[in-house]
Structure 1
């Protein structure tokens, strides 16, 4: 069959978002490509493979297959007389996997809780579900070691270093997603028979999966044109020489760089109508006659004033791990400031991507349409920044229209965000902002060409916070010329402004391709930028500066900053208490101080637990235990390991510092689905046996003879705080 624009009975293109992605909501890029191409008359389908693969992997038969594999691996390691550091790490993961195998359906229960509109906001239940999801990914890591996966991470092309090692992940023993591809995805591809398959590589964590999947698709479906795009790949491919491009093109037939709406639609038109790909915008492809690579000239950019809204209709939004869908919407593109020297998006004086915002009336109409279509009032404006004048106008029109929706966005801390304007934005539905304050030192900000004043940022955060808008503060350590005293000003800024900051995050400076620092390093104090040890030319170079703050100083700053962790409830992505997550957006509707209130409640519960167990605040043990009845909340086993688990180093990356672990010094370990195994003795075993949901703590402890009362109390504290027991 020849594919033509007029033949609507077939799918012209499949657009695939490879794992790992965001399990809490869709990414907007592919739905925008779909809506643009369908505007031109093409039938396009979007699949989010990350969320689909999760539900495939948590099926009972899949978990059992992985449990069997993990058990065989564990037995094989236990036959050894000693374990090297990598084997120790693997063995630790395998022991933890045993706990998940006690009741695998607990994982599905956890997934369901994330979608429960009531239980989701019970932080204790929520936190337990987070731990189950993390435990499941540790389990996947154990069964596919040395591949370490999390809900949002996978080994990158940069860490694997060579295409040979990347493509080794075509093997199901290394890659947990291979069975999903072959059993679920490939039959869909065969059934749809598209002309084009597009793979999106938005993040470094998707690089290996995108390359592996592209390779497998080209092998299985040689008649289909495979193309790749995405923000990360667009950066990466600009650095590639002929060798790297040749390797890349074993996994793809073309690359769409930059904003892909019109370039992808043009590519699709040429493929389905058998036309030459020469001179297409933003496209890199291989000349079929000469084998030479054909590169585009200048990047073209989408006119978002005419761009149709994203189309999420192919995605089951109820599958994502949220009680209500949070829809991403690009209300602007580019940056109206565009001068920050560390920013890899080439704006401002590079004059590549001019700042654009969707006309206010168009934006409100599209947001209203999306809200009705997907039955939600939750939106995340997926953009770099929005100018204050636009937001004022937008908010006034929203309020006048009577529309009610909740939205979140990134902002620059401008003087224009006065107390009155902040209150206006809040009335229009603004829920949360992320502000890159970068540094508490004005000299460092000026060197960055940030264009902000420290005092202005401080006041803007107060104005927004007082209006009920959550504020996320993002900082950077390590800019050339920054001293430890300068960094201390950043730490002090965060500490002194706790009353107006809802969440904070600080990271180390990266000098990335596309930034002014990368293109003119000497001007900004960068001594060298090296891609040595990076044969694939992945866009994460090593940079050096004679005026860079020593690592010891950075570590001291982080140590001082860590004291703030006692104020906020912090978690890893994609959970609440991580930067700009859908879970955080939803929780922030309870107030900009919700993370601080949660942390305060945790501390109160800890103090109450001390009182119940007769412990002082300094962890001293008295005999004033309360007469409460404990119950076991999780399944567990007591397993005799030949190796001393507590001596295992969980980081296998520094074998020179890690000794061999010898068999013979092991013991009995308490293993459950979500906690790290701990060694226990006879008295702890007896205590566990006596917890039966009937006897109170006093009677339980009274019958355990010959044991240290203090040790039993500490063990009870562990059981309750770890979630294994409840009172």
Structure 2
């Protein structure tokens, strides 16, 4: 039996996700014919191309024209949509021109390491995704996100979202580029991974389309999201009738292999562990079994994946040295549940064997440990083994701030090639850490951060605001902690608390002063649940503190400005480790790279009658039926005012997201500014047309054009 494993959109395109390579290696070791397909990566190239963006540009123009034809625009959503559509449809020509070079920058071994070029490429790609989403309004999408507001969390809204062609861009994409591939492969089993909430709708859209077309293969879903929904899935028989045949919970190796064998032999599926399926009109959830011994698993295989097509000049390959979390007690966290609350450590010798195999087989030096948290003892053993063998690799991993991360251990980690660690500090208030059940203290956190920094390892620190019961004063302690330690914290990941499905806070809300909505089934398919607190910071205050910390504190860190610029938050395991390795011998902490170059300020030129001017490239002039300036003011002020038709001439530079209203007489001058005619010649032409003395028009033209030049809307032509 052939097995086809699919990784669907929407996920980051920077490196392979580990689930498919791990499952493929395990199945192949047991003689199963497996094809792994990263359609998430393929989707980026299909969406981010000239042809598709040209089509999107036409859709945006049609949507904007529909609003332009109205007599008035309602406050709020309609006015914002008008503004967004205008900017997007104006920007699309630039996106069409630059999108291929933007993708090429990510894959270029020289341009990738120029932060200015990488930032420009990131801007083009993110704006392209924004425009694509706007053409499917109200959908939104980015390099790590996909959201359809019409999907509210209920099963009914999930069904609507997976068949809504206007809002769901993946229906057409699957029809044109994936379904025929699946048909040609003729698999007996199709496995679809759903690792993040951003993949839920795209993945179930695909599985539903396959079922509706009568694909003969057994369709099974798995991954983190499926494990989080394990108690929800059996409530909905229609899921198993319309979307898929089965679901695998927790680690997938043993259940998937057993499923293959049972299907091949035509046996009942009752014996497949960690498995939910429909049998004779009844949904059954088979008993769970312990996962396969981590030391019996082969290293992941990336054969069949186009490693040179990821958005990266050199592949960064993921691998696990452990499964699960050795602490597994934090009240907000749900990651351990995906492993069935088990914890396994791979033998250090076997793990370093994995590193050697991956390094030699794929020619890579960048390895990202995808562990939930690598323990001090484990990372010490791994470092010893790497040093004993003299293996040249560069690693990154996640850790808990444990006092066992001594100066000696941190120096050994650095010597073994560990260049970056991600540390969950969460809070700098010991009382809040106690509420979280973090098992650490502010003093330990600071000590570990100092040891890591002094060893020459980049520390990316995660903090969180708004855990139930946290006060504003306690949140300010975290602000103070960061400012105090700007010399030893390289960069930050900042978030606000949310109630994750199956977290301890969700299961025992009263213990944390949390009230959850009595929503019935309406939120069954949401991974994060809205909540209210009886004391401490509210959800809204947590969001505001997150924004304030980025705006006021993170900017003081040496590394954060650069990392925000190159988009580190899209994939912490790819871009930053490569920068650290690339500049390792010349600038190990990126101290010179992070310095933002001030924009060059050209000398101011004075416009006169001999000046030849033209609109700056990228600037357009257009007559709009509504006053965009008033609309933007309404949006900013939250005004509830209706706007009525008021034709206005508008200059727009969509690449800089700015515009300017111009008077009718100024527009007449601009129409003739072609870079060939001087202002004196333009004035003569307009004087004849309007029967006005030339010197009057020339005087006004200079007065009009000087501020437009100063603001960068027009430019001199030699």
Cross-structure match for 1:641: 624
Residues in 2 aligned to 1:689 and 1:566: alpha-carbon distance in whole angstroms: 45
Q: Mark the CA change 1:630 to 1:318 in structure 2 (over 3 Å): closer, same or farther.
A: farther
Shift of 1:444: 1.0
Residues in 2 aligned to 1:525 and 1:76: alpha-carbon distance in whole angstroms: 48
Aligned pairs (5 A) from 1:380-391:
380-391=368-379
Residue 368 (structure 1) aligned with residue 349 (structure 2)? no
Residues in 1 aligned to 2:103 and 2:633: alpha-carbon distance in whole angstroms: 27
SS at 2:568's partner residue? coil
When structure 1 is superposed on structure 2, of 438-447 and 71-80 the one drifting more is 71-80
SS at 1:488's partner residue? helix
Residues in 1 aligned to 2:358 and 2:616: alpha-carbon distance in whole angstroms: 41
Cross-structure match for 1:420: 408
Aligned pairs (5 A) from 1:173-192:
173-192=166-185
Cross-structure match for 2:474: 486
Cross-structure match for 1:539: 527
Cross-structure match for 2:223: 230
Shift of 1:165: 3.6
Cross-structure match for 1:440: 428
Instruction: Work out whether residues 34 and 311 of structure 1, in 8 Å CA contact, stay in contact via their aligned partners in 2.
Output: yes
Instruction: Work out whether residues 325 and 336 of structure 2, in 8 Å CA contact, stay in contact via their aligned partners in 1.
Output: no
Within the candidate set 289, 297, 320, 1:330 is matched to 320
State the Cα deviation string for residues 424-462 of structure 1 (Å, max 9, x = none): 111111111110101000111122221112111112112
Within the candidate set 127, 139, 144, 1:147 is matched to 139
SS at 1:310's partner residue? coil
Q: Mark the CA change 1:412 to 1:109 in structure 2 (over 3 Å): closer, same or farther.
A: same
Shift of 1:197: 0.9
Residue 669 (structure 1) aligned with residue 651 (structure 2)? yes
Q: If the length of structure 2 is used for normalisation, what is the TM-score?
A: 0.86
Residue 600 (structure 1) aligned with residue 595 (structure 2)? yes
Residues in 2 aligned to 1:572 and 1:530: alpha-carbon distance in whole angstroms: 39
Residues in 1 aligned to 2:671 and 2:579: alpha-carbon distance in whole angstroms: 36
Within the candidate set 50, 53, 62, 1:63 is matched to 53
Residues in 2 aligned to 1:106 and 1:273: alpha-carbon distance in whole angstroms: 53
Instruction: Work out whether residues 413 and 456 of structure 1, in 8 Å CA contact, stay in contact via their aligned partners in 2.
Output: yes
Cross-structure match for 1:356: 344
Residues in 2 aligned to 1:200 and 1:573: alpha-carbon distance in whole angstroms: 31
Unaligned segments of structure 2, at least 5 residues: 607-611, 679-697
Within the candidate set 382, 386, 407, 1:398 is matched to 386
What is the total number of aligned residue pairs between the two structures? 683
Residues in 1 aligned to 2:561 and 2:668: alpha-carbon distance in whole angstroms: 33
Residue 83 (structure 1) aligned with residue 80 (structure 2)? no
Shift of 1:58: 3.4
Cross-structure match for 1:197: 190
Cross-structure match for 1:618: none
Q: Mark the CA change 1:480 to 1:143 in structure 2 (over 3 Å): closer, same or farther.
A: closer
SS at 1:547's partner residue? coil
Shift of 1:541: 1.9
Residues in 2 aligned to 1:725 and 1:491: alpha-carbon distance in whole angstroms: 48
Residue 264 (structure 1) aligned with residue 256 (structure 2)? yes
Shift of 1:260: 0.7
Aligned pairs (5 A) from 1:278-357:
278-287=270-279, 289=280, 291-346=281-336, 352-357=340-345
SS at 2:17's partner residue? coil
After superposition, the CA RMSD in angstroms is: 3.6
Residue 108 (structure 1) aligned with residue 100 (structure 2)? yes
Residue 37 (structure 1) aligned with residue 27 (structure 2)? yes
Shift of 1:506: 2.2
State the Cα deviation string for residues 487-509 of structure 1 (Å, max 9, x = none): 11111111111111121122222
Q: Mark the CA change 1:487 to 1:532 in structure 2 (over 3 Å): closer, same or farther.
A: farther
Instruction: Work out whether residues 365 and 394 of structure 2, in 8 Å CA contact, stay in contact via their aligned partners in 1.
Output: yes
Shift of 1:598: 5.0
Residues in 1 aligned to 2:150 and 2:426: alpha-carbon distance in whole angstroms: 26
Within the candidate set 474, 484, 493, 2:462 is matched to 474
Residues in 2 aligned to 1:420 and 1:702: alpha-carbon distance in whole angstroms: 75
Shift of 1:709: 5.3
Cross-structure match for 1:211: 204
Cross-structure match for 1:563: 552
Instruction: Work out whether residues 369 and 397 of structure 2, in 8 Å CA contact, stay in contact via their aligned partners in 1.
Output: yes
Residue 706 (structure 1) aligned with residue 698 (structure 2)? no
SS at 1:569's partner residue? helix
Q: Mark the CA change 1:106 to 1:369 in structure 2 (over 3 Å): closer, same or farther.
A: same
Residues in 1 aligned to 2:614 and 2:625: alpha-carbon distance in whole angstroms: 30
Within the candidate set 576, 579, 586, 1:584 is matched to 576
Instruction: Work out whether residues 115 and 566 of structure 2, in 8 Å CA contact, stay in contact via their aligned partners in 1.
Output: no
State the Cα deviation string for residues 377-428 of structure 1 (Å, max 9, x = none): 1111011011111211211221121111111100011112122221111111
SS at 1:74's partner residue? helix
